[in-house]
Amino acid sequence: MNPFDTLLESLRAAVGATHVLTEGDLSAWEQDWRKRERGKALAVVRPASTNEVAQVVKLCGQAGVSIVPQGGNTGMVVGSTPDASGTQIVLSLQRMQQVRVLDAANLTVTVEAGCVLQSLQDACEKAGFLFPLSLASEGSCTIGGNLGTNAGGTQVVRYGNTRELCLGLEVVTAQGEVWNGLSGLRKDNTGYDLRHLFIGSEGTLGVITAATMRLYPLPAAQLTAFAAVPSLEAAVELLGLAHRFLNAGLTGFEVMEKFALSLVTKHFPQQRVPFQDAPYCVVLENSDHESEAHARTQFERLLEAAMEQGCVQDAVVAESMAQAKALWHIRESIPLAQAQEGLNIKHDISVAVSRIPEFVRVTDALIQQSFPGARMVNYGHLGDGNLHYNVQAPLGADAQTFLKEQEAALNALVYASVDQFGGSISAEHGIGSLKRDKLEHHKSPVALQMMRAIKTALDPQNLMNPGRMIRV
């Protein structure tokens, strides 16, 4: 028997033959969400418990076979699919979905890594609590993937990234040992905080099998407004006012440029997009712990002041939950509309909120100089200084050819500009394979050296998602 067959036999014995997939259509695990790359797995292995994950990792370690941890496979940077060698195992956490404990007094929930984000939100809401992490992919991404990427999303302005929501982790190390760090403690200064090494490590250090996450009381009301603004400067001005008028009630602040919204209208004509002629629109959310009437009054005062100042041209406030959902749906449909429009170049950048308008003005001009006709699809989490400053091929151009010929140069231009503005080339999506080589040029040598030291200390065989994020 060849060594791969021996490993597959042992894996079948560990997790059950039906959970070691080697045949049939494996595209759901082998193809990334953006359809940038298609890999080939030796097998897709689907353990059902932490002990099974540990066995799988040990068996792979003995065979020298590398592992790609995978949750919902919605990642944006080609980090959760295998390479093309046919020698990597995809370790899917999909069968580990249980909400283990909800501790109401401690305001925490302990949940397995494969739990789909929306299922966790629903379970918490049913128990009377808010789990605030929210992304457009929440119907399929998993809490393990959210932790693996330190996902951001639309509520960061109030609740922070996934990292800020996590109090403890259970991890299977690269050696197949189980580290139970499922603490619900808010204070614990007993040495290095190991959880933070694994959060955002994109499967390169170990497998997250469960986590203890923070909960919040459900707000009495969540109101959504959609505002037309004359410029990005005006959007930033509105953000300042929203912080002042709503304070901790400001739970969402998303910006969308006119062309990004026009793609939603084009590809999802059933959606009614307000203010289609405005240069930019903003979705704002006000979560209030008093009452809906109070939230509405606060919103009215904010919008009145903003109109007086000229930073809002027009606005609607949702009258019902259904209307609020429809307004959010417009924002969340942009990545899907962009995908329908064709292959595209994504930039997930952050710079200080105050410098966003200047960054866009300067970088737009540079792009149009070097890549005339390139269509900018600009939208994102303005409240966090995070833009999806994306690029679609010029009208009429073949997207595949445009990407092949221009992507590297276009990325170099955008990232040089990000550096000039003191920003980050990956605000929330991570590095994966797509940005790995870029990281070398945009992170300090000292930081890269420390990252490599951590990687080789925790995964000396380089079997955990090798070649992703950082080369060793």
Chain residues binding ligand MLT by CB under 6 A are: 136, 335, 346, 348, 380, 388
Name residues contacting ligand FAD, limited to 147-206 (CB under 6 A): 148-149, 151-153, 202-203
| Binding of ligand FAD by 135 (CB under 6 A) | yes
Shortest separation between residue 379's beta carbon and ligand MLT, angstroms: 7
286's contact among ligand MLT, ligand FAD, none, with CB below 5 to 8 A by partner kind, is none
Quick one: how far is CA 451 from the chain centroid? 21
Minimum CB distance to ligand MLT, residue 363 (Å): 17
Q: Assess 29 for contact with ligand FAD (CB under 6 A).
A: no
By a kind-dependent CB cut-off of 5 to 8 A, residue 74 interacts, out of ligand FAD, ligand MLT, none, with ligand FAD
For residue 202, the minimal CB distance to ligand MLT (Å) is 15
Taking alpha carbons only, the member of 187, 190, 207, 221 closest to residue 296 is: 221
> Nearest distance from residue 282's CB to ligand FAD, in Å?
16
Give which of ligand FAD, ligand MLT, none residue 93 binds (C-beta under 5 to 8 Å, depending on kind): ligand FAD
Q: How many residues bind ligand FAD (CB under 6 A)?
A: 36
Q: Which stretch binds ligand FAD (CB under 6 A): 133-141, 251-259, 299-307, 399-407?
A: 133-141
Least Cβ distance, residue 74 to ligand MLT (angstroms)? 9
Please say which residue, 83 or 254, places its beta carbon nearer to ligand MLT: 254
112 binds ligand FAD, rule: CB under 6 A:
no
Q: How far is the CB of 92 from ligand MLT (least distance, A)?
A: 22
Judged by beta carbon distances under 5 to 8 A according to partner kind, the member of ligand MLT, ligand FAD, none in contact with residue 388 is ligand MLT
Q: Is 343 in the site for ligand FAD (CB under 6 A)?
A: no
